[in-house]
Structures are given as C-alpha cells and as structure tokens.
Amino acid sequence: MYEVGVRRGACNSPGWTVCSGPILLADTTHRKGLESQLHEIALDELEVSGSIPAWLSGTLVRNGPARYEVGDRTLNHWFDGLAMLHAFGFQDGRVSYANRYLQTGAHEAATRRGRIEYSEFATDPCRSVFSRVQAMFSPSLDGGATPNANVNVVRLGERYLALTEAPLPVAFDPRTLDTLGVARDAAAPGQHATAHPHHDPDRDELVAYVVAFGPRSRYVLYAVPANGGARRTIASLPVSRPSYMHSFALTPRYAVLCEFPLVVNPLRLASRARPFIENYRWDPDRPARFLVVDRQAGDLRGAYETDPFFCFHHINAFERDGNLVVDLSAYDDDEIIRALYLDRARDPETVFPTVAPRRYEIDLDGGGVRSRRLADVMFELPRMDYRRHNGRDYGYAYAASLRHPGAPGFLDQLAKLDVADESVATWQEEGCFPGEPVFVAGPDAEGEDDGVLLSVVLDARSGTSFLLALDAGDLHELGRAQVPQHVPFGFHGSYFRSA
Ligand SMILES: [Fe+2]
C-alpha cells in the first residue's frame, strides 16, 4: 500500500503525495489496479457507507484478469491475465462479496506447474511447450482446454457463461463461482469469437459472430437459443483479410459488423510465429467498413465505407428515417492496443489515446456515411439501458472516462452522456479509478435513467477497492461497499436479478 523511502523528485511528481512524514509515500496512481490479486475471499457482508438501495436484489458478477506473473515470466498485456470472477450480492441494502479464479487450462498450468502453456491475446508460451499445446487463438484450435475467459459474463437461459475471444464459453455457478466446464453446445463455429454477444428478446437467443479462418475465411453470424436448442447460422460472409473486431451492433432488423483496417493474413496467423494480436496489421489505406446484415434474409444489405478508425465497444444502434445510426467508442487508430501492454499500461506517465463517443449515420441506400463526435469526453467501457433500449433510439449512455485527455493517467471518472443534448455529467474522487458502470433499472422505473449505476472503484489511497452505487439520474453517490483488498481492473460484468 505504501512505499517507504524517498524517491528522487517524488514529491513533485504527479501521483505521489506525502502521507505521513517525509519518507512515507502513497502511490495514488492507478498502478495497483493492474497488479495481481492472489487472495480468494468470501465475505457475507461488506462495510457499507451511505445507503445501497434495498430494492437491489441480485448479483453483480464481474470478470477480469487477476494474475499476471507465472513462474518467472510475466504475461505481456492487460488482456492476458488469468480470469477471476467477482460476485457482489445485494439484499436489503447489504452487500456480500466473493472472488474466485476461473478454473482454466491456463490457471492449472500456472498454479500446478508454474508455466505459461497457452497462448493468450498477446502472449505465447515458451517454445518448448508451444509445439505440443494448442494455441488458444490459433486457426487450428479444436477447443481442447478450458479457455482463459476473462472478458465478460452473460446469462443464456438458466446458464451463466464467462466469455473471451476464444470460441468456447465457460459455464460457472453465480452463487459459488464454481467453474462448471466448457459449454460446448454454445461454442462459436470458428476461431476468433466475440465476448460481446447480444440477446434477442423476441426469440430469446444469443446472437454473435465469429471469424472462421481458413483458405476461405468467413465472418459467421449465428444464434444460440436460450432453451438449449441447436445453433443456427444467420449469415456467412467471405473475407480475405479478416479484421480484428471486439463487438458488434444489433437492431431488430440488422446485425452490424464494423470492419476496421486492422487486418490479418490468415496464413500468417496459421504459422503461429507471433502472439495472436501481433499478426494483425493496421493498414491506413483501407477504409473502415460497416457490414450491414439483414438478419431475416441472412444476406448483406450493404457494405458502407468510412474513414479508418478503431473501436472495442459499440454503444447502441438503431434505424431512423432510412438511416442506420451506430454509436460507438471510437479511437483514431489501433494505438490503444499497444498502450495496454502491461509495461506501458502500468506506467503512470503513459498518455492513453483519445476515445470518444462517436455517431455514424449510414444511408442504407448508398447516400454515404456521416460521422460526428457526440461529446468532448473520453468514453470507454460504455453501457446503457440494454434491456429496454438496445437496437432502439435511446437517451443515455454511461462509461468510464478520463478527466484530462491527452495527459498521463488511467480511467479516473465515470461519465453519463445525454445522447439528445450531448451534455455530460461526471462522478470523480481523488485517487479513485472506476471501472465499467453497469446500469440497473429501478423497480418502478419510468424514465430511462431511473436506476443505479454499479461500478467497482480502485481507491489508490488505501490500495483497496469498493463497490460504488450512483443514482443514474444525476450521478450522485448513494453508497459504497468496501472490499478489504484490491479488485484488479476488469473488463465487463452483468447484474443478474434474483429469481
Ligand atoms: Fe469488451
């Protein structure tokens, strides 16, 4: 928590403050959030300050990396860390907490043999084990091991699944956080999947895409029924240089893939010469393309070009006046991927690339694509009232944000964007670094923002984390529940209501 000693020039450096006397310094930078958490705990009740709404009755499950050191090696990238699930249980204003590692092939190799034996996003095993272990992202993946599913969690019928970009979901028990094994019937029919499937409420099915590599690579859109029925292919689109994509958009009529000019030669990927993402190349001469798929017909409505850009996360999409509106968190290029290698991401002096909420309006009849920034605010890990507004016009989006774009530092505030008037409200606290805000609608919600935002926040001053509950209307704090250790920065989570 504290470092003892004098760092030359430390008192004048950003992020270092004198806590007690001249030689006891607190690291108030974000670094702790990217350090491993080896302790698994289960607490019936966290200390609450303020007030957690009594109507919250359910569990917020969050997913993210929690271990970066394996044997004498360190994984390379934030996205590579070993998956840990965190469960915050809510009942009558009380909050419980538990965290457990997902029991994966990579976790077993790390804990039993002290080795990295599986390929991750930006890390490969040492060459001696490489030849005999299937690479997680290799085109010849046959799904032999439980993948390091550290990105997201979703509910599919009565099952709860942890997801990454490998094609095999991992089932878990949200009460005990026990790992239940690979959900093979929900496997993606390809190699590079999305950790951000959509839910179609009308058909009660999961809708997702996967990249199937081969001599004739394809983007395959597919659906998996919640009731356990057979997987259905919606569309299959040929592609010679598949793009690195992380999420997509879904409206009642269309599925929208945005192909960024970050592309791979499938043969290069097959050679396994480099870690997965390092096979992709940014080609500034290629446009970005929106591939709009008619879900009913199963064919391409059109491919619509625009200037190159990159994004991890779509916010929402909907049809309006013959146009397709697509909102997303946009970067100018793929530099963010390099900025999130651990050596750079942990460095308090790193300046992260700007990411802004951007709106693309696509004239489906060929009149072009227009885009504009919705607000001058950093906007990453975006969420909205998904259940009531996904695929439809909407009023508000929420995200983790950065107070001072262009200056050193990590995500250090939460932001609410009013999509209509493009105004922004924020929550921030000195030394605090919040993660993705999950919106939970109130029991009698009328307005779109009647509800709470739940976010796990690192308090660098104490080296611990807390669960923050904000009023989604004006972002004022309702209460917080203190975790007695730090929760490493994760990616995504879902709130599951109690039955
Ligand atoms: Fe994501």
Taking only the tens place, the pLDDT of each residue in 273-326 is 899 999 999 999 999 999 999 999 999 999 999 999 999 999 999 999 999 999
- 152 Cα to the center of ligand 1, angstroms: 7
Mean pLDDT score across all residues of the chain: 92
**Rounded Cα distance, 368 and 499, in Å:** 47
- 65 Cα to the center of ligand 1, angstroms: 13
Query: The whole model's pTM is what?
Result: 0.93
The predicted pLDDT at position 256 comes to 98
Q: Of 201, 199, 248, 200, whose CA–CA distance to 220 is shortest?
A: 248
Q: Of 369, 365, 358, 219, whose CA–CA distance to 290 is shortest?
A: 369
- 165 Cα to the center of ligand 1, angstroms: 10
- 111 Cα to the center of ligand 1, angstroms: 26
**Rounded Cα distance, 361 and 328, in Å:** 12
Which residues are within 8 A (CB) of 453 and not within 5 positions of it... i.e. 6 or more apart?
398, 414, 416, 437, 438, 439, 440, 468, 469, 470, 471, 472, 475
Which residues are within 8 A (CB) of 195 and not within 5 positions of it... i.e. 6 or more apart?
149, 151, 152, 163, 164, 165, 246, 247, 491, 492
Could you tell me the CA-to-CA distances from 184 to 161, 169, 181, 193, 369 in Å, in that order?
11, 7, 9, 14, 39
Percent of the chain with pLDDT over 90: 88
- 311 Cα to the center of ligand 1, angstroms: 10
The predicted pLDDT at position 273 comes to 80
**Rounded Cα distance, 78 and 6, in Å:** 29
Q: What is the DSSP string of 459-498?
A: ETTTTEEEEEEEETTT--EEEEEE-SS------EEEEEE-
- 150 Cα to the center of ligand 1, angstroms: 10
Place 430 in a pLDDT band, splitting at 50, 70 and 90.
very high
Could you tell me the CA-to-CA distances from 409 to 12, 32, 47 in Å, in that order?
16, 13, 29
- 382 Cα to the center of ligand 1, angstroms: 9
Which pair of structure tokens corresponds to residue 218?
Answer: 């394809």
Look-up of token digits 């227009």: 370
Q: How many residues does the chain have?
A: 499
- 317 Cα to the center of ligand 1, angstroms: 17
The predicted pLDDT at position 1 comes to 32
Instruction: Judge whether residue 446 has pLDDT over 80.
Output: yes
pLDDT tens sequence across 242-276: 999 999 999 999 999 999 999 999 988 888 789 99
**Rounded Cα distance, 45 and 59, in Å:** 13
- 193 Cα to the center of ligand 1, angstroms: 12
Which pair of structure tokens corresponds to residue 108?
Answer: 């077993």
The predicted pLDDT at position 10 comes to 37
Place 400 in a pLDDT band, splitting at 50, 70 and 90.
very high
The predicted pLDDT at position 144 comes to 61
Which is higher by pLDDT, 161 or 144? Answer: 161
Which residues are within 8 A (CB) of 175 and not within 5 positions of it... i.e. 6 or more apart?
59, 87
User: What number is the average pLDDT over the span 377-390?
Assistant: 98
Instruction: Judge whether residue 496 has pLDDT over 70.
Output: yes
- 167 Cα to the center of ligand 1, angstroms: 15
Instruction: Judge whether residue 488 has pLDDT over 70.
Output: yes
- 329 Cα to the center of ligand 1, angstroms: 11
Of 123-132, 179-188, 252-261, 351-360, least confident by mean pLDDT is 123-132
**Rounded Cα distance, 315 and 132, in Å:** 40
- 442 Cα to the center of ligand 1, angstroms: 25
Which residues are within 8 A (CB) of 496 and not within 5 positions of it... i.e. 6 or more apart?
58, 59, 60, 61, 155, 160, 174
- 105 Cα to the center of ligand 1, angstroms: 22
User: What number is the average pLDDT over the span 43-61?
Assistant: 98
- 194 Cα to the center of ligand 1, angstroms: 9
- 312 Cα to the center of ligand 1, angstroms: 6
Instruction: Let me know: does 468 contact 474? Beta carbons within 8 Å.
Output: no
**Rounded Cα distance, 367 and 145, in Å:** 47
pLDDT tens sequence across 111-120: 999 999 999 9
Instruction: Let me know: does 445 contact 453? Beta carbons within 8 Å.
Output: no
Place 4 in a pLDDT band, splitting at 50, 70 and 90.
very low
The predicted pLDDT at position 268 comes to 87
Place 129 in a pLDDT band, splitting at 50, 70 and 90.
low
User: What number is the average pLDDT over the span 95-116?
Assistant: 96
The predicted pLDDT at position 25 comes to 63
**Rounded Cα distance, 228 and 20, in Å:** 59
β-strands 159-163, 198-200 pairing: unpaired
Place 499 in a pLDDT band, splitting at 50, 70 and 90.
confident
- 340 Cα to the center of ligand 1, angstroms: 13
- 85 Cα to the center of ligand 1, angstroms: 15
The predicted pLDDT at position 374 comes to 98
- 254 Cα to the center of ligand 1, angstroms: 21
- 13 Cα to the center of ligand 1, angstroms: 32
Q: What is the CA radius of gyration of the chain?
A: 22
- Give 104: exposed, middle or buried? Use CB within 10 Å, 0-12, 13-18, 19+: buried
- 469 Cα to the center of ligand 1, angstroms: 22
- 195 Cα to the center of ligand 1, angstroms: 7
Percent of the chain with pLDDT over 70: 91
